[in-house]
Amino acid sequence: MPTYAVCRDLAIIILSAKAFGLLARRLHAPQVVGEILAGLVIGPCVLGWVAQSDFLSGVAEIGVILLMFCTGLDTDLSELKKTGGAALLIACAGVFVPLLLGTVLFCVYYGVAPGSSQFLHAVYIGTIMTATSVSITVEALREMGHLRGRVGTTIVSAAIIDDVIGIIVLTVVIGFKDPSVRPLTVLLRTVLFLLFAAAIWTIGARLFSYLDTVFEHTRRMTILSLGFCLIMAYLSEKLFGVADITGAYLAGIILCNIRDSGRIAKKMDINSYLIFGPVFFASIGLKTDLSALDVNILLFSLAFVAVALLSKVIGCGLAARCCRFRSCDSLKIGVGMMTRGEVALIVAQKGLSAGLLSSAYFTSVILLILVSSIATPLLLGAIYARWPDLDVPAEPAPAPAPAEPTA
């Protein structure tokens, strides 16, 4: 592919994402739904105009990292501390309820008895259902101006904790099959990550507060912050096996109280909405290839998608209700935790190489990612329209320049 071809791909993606996004908004749906659909339409499923490439997946990766970094920068730290306990409970319920119901689904559908040789495969189907991917929910909440509220903060922190617990579950399950994977090592790495996060929080927050007094309002402050975010994202995944977006979110939280944080978030947001964001959301559609779909797989996939979505709503929703959220807010949290993303595909990939999953189930996972990515923003929009937040007075989306319409 000649280098100038990247212009073509990028032009098609940003223009179609914007067009579909505006169309979605006209139909009273969040723009992010339109951007995902744009990727589906221009990708291999329909028109085949744009194919995945190393360039596009790199840009998409930076896109989701910028998104989570902005989310961290926008965090209301006192709100985060208040919701921390609830988020932990919600994350646990959001991992174990899907794990249980997914296992039950496979056992019932294929008549597998607990303890038989096929049982571990059933557990693996449940494992795939555990990992929430919060980026779509974040974007939908941001568009509606609900990201900083109590519900928004709870969803984001629960999804981050969910990621850490999900990794432990995954490793334990694979450890039953593959003796070279040691659950203890993974537990140790997770503990080390928590220590690392605490250390960086203490040092990083002080260092950047100092830098802020010296370099406030300079380009180098923005560049240093972005560099910090990228290094945190890289180290989280490289050293501790935690998703890179968790590291980026952590970097954002560490910087959320420095004086320049609003300005930095605005610069990141301009990068994000012009190029990186649309490429990330469209790439979800671009990656989707449903050509392997047949009736058998379709039937199981439908059941798989339904169980995966409902188990999160039930698990997280009930846990939120136990933490004294209103019923409607519990519903928002349950629905917000429904989205799945690349992590589910990565888990499926690992199951394939460990011999715990047949490649036929990839279609189910892709369908789950697609359906949850489109359904979540739509449902959240409808629920928020019916039951507005109590604690957040109709707040504008925080990141973009206040004077500028967001479309």
The answer to the question of residue 22 lying near its own copies (CB under 8 A) is: yes
The answer to the question of residue 118 lying near its own copies (CB under 8 A) is: no
172-202 core/surface letters (b: 16 or more CB in 10 A; e: else) = bbbbeeeeebebeebeebbeebeebbeebee
The answer to the question of residue 220 lying near its own copies (CB under 8 A) is: yes
The answer to the question of residue 352 lying near its own copies (CB under 8 A) is: no
Copy the structure tokens of residue 7: 């212009």
Q: Which of 47, 108, 195, 270 binds its own copies (CB under 8 A)?
A: 270
Q: Using CB under 8 A as the criterion, what x/- string covers residues 273-312 for binding its own copies? A: xxx-------------------------------------
The answer to the question of residue 218 lying near its own copies (CB under 8 A) is: yes
Q: How far is CA 182 from CA 89, 96, 169, 213, 252, in A?
A: 26, 21, 12, 46, 32
The answer to the question of residue 222 lying near its own copies (CB under 8 A) is: yes
Q: Which residues, 6+ apart, have CB-to-CB distance to 109 below 8 Å?
A: 300, 303
336-366 core/surface letters (b: 16 or more CB in 10 A; e: else) = bbbbbbbbbbebbebbeebebbeeebbbbbb
Cα separation, 148 vs 41, in Å, equals 32
Window 37-66: residues binding its own copies (CB under 8 A): 53-55, 57-59, 61-62, 65
The answer to the question of residue 219 lying near its own copies (CB under 8 A) is: yes
Max CA-CA distance within the chain?
66
Of 236 and 363, which CB lies nearer to its own copies in the complex structure? 236
- Name the one residue in this structure whose structure tokens are 């990515």: 373
The answer to the question of residue 404 lying near its own copies (CB under 8 A) is: yes
The answer to the question of residue 353 lying near its own copies (CB under 8 A) is: no
Q: Cα-flanking dihedrals φ and ψ of residue 395, to 5°?
A: -90, 140
DSSP summary character for residue 361: G
Copy the structure tokens of residue 8: 């073509």
Q: Which of 112, 181, 231, 328 binds its own copies (CB under 8 A)?
A: 231
Of 150 and 340, which CB lies nearer to its own copies in the complex structure? 340
Closest contact distance (angstroms) between CB of 14 and its own copies is: 6
The answer to the question of residue 5 lying near its own copies (CB under 8 A) is: yes
Q: Which residues, 6+ apart, have CB-to-CB distance to 145 below 8 Å?
A: 392, 394, 395, 396, 397, 398
The answer to the question of residue 122 lying near its own copies (CB under 8 A) is: no
The answer to the question of residue 217 lying near its own copies (CB under 8 A) is: yes
The answer to the question of residue 4 lying near its own copies (CB under 8 A) is: yes
Which residues contact its own copies (rule: CB under 8 A)?
2-8, 10-11, 14-15, 18, 22, 53-55, 57-59, 61-62, 65, 217-220, 222-224, 226-227, 230-231, 233-234, 237-238, 244, 267, 270-271, 273-275, 400, 403-407
